[in-house]
Amino acid sequence: MLNETQEVHTSPTAPQKRSPLFLLSGLVIGLLLGLVYAWFINPVIYENTVPASLGATDKDVYRGTIAQVYAITGDLERAVLRLALLEDPEPVFELASQAQRALAAGNDTEARALALMASVLQGAPQAATPESVPLPDTPVEIMSPAVPTQTLPVPASTP
């Protein structure tokens, strides 16, 4: 009787069907955790990037800044070196087209500075010095996106 073994019979259970909801929720949670990690915990920080890697609008801001600094200081060598960092195939054309866009947008000061820089680079003798373009004494206003503000006056007292 000691050597007798007992056999245990179990009925095979059918595997349970899992809904694809587990897979979908796992993907969504993983995506959200990945975005939180990439945006808040360990975001990408660009350091020591070259101006040539900038986007088109940022290149326009960079060119405008170079032209405005040249219009104030008159340091052509430094302005040319800064423009060379953008690696534009035709910097005179880029400056002139940006000057036209700035003029169309109503930025007269920036348009003058860009046109001055383009004409100096092209070798026009009438615009060899930055003093030939009158610049206002006020700082240049940079356009920023519209921020919603309060439209109704704040009541003096609350009931």
Query: Mind listing the pLDDT tens digit of every residue in the chain (159 residues)?
Result: 566 777 777 777 767 777 788 889 999 999 999 999 999 999 988 788 889 998 999 999 999 999 999 999 999 999 999 999 999 999 999 999 999 999 999 999 999 999 999 999 998 554 444 455 555 555 555 555 556 666 666 667 665
Contacting residues for 69 by C-beta, under 8 A, at least 6 apart: 75, 79
Distance CA 127, CA 114 (A): 12
In this prediction, residue 108 carries a pLDDT of 93
Report which of 113, 107, 118 is spatially closest to residue 135, judged by C-alpha positions: 113
In this prediction, residue 76 carries a pLDDT of 93
Contacting residues for 71 by C-beta, under 8 A, at least 6 apart: 112, 113, 116, 117, 130, 133, 135
pTM: 0.53
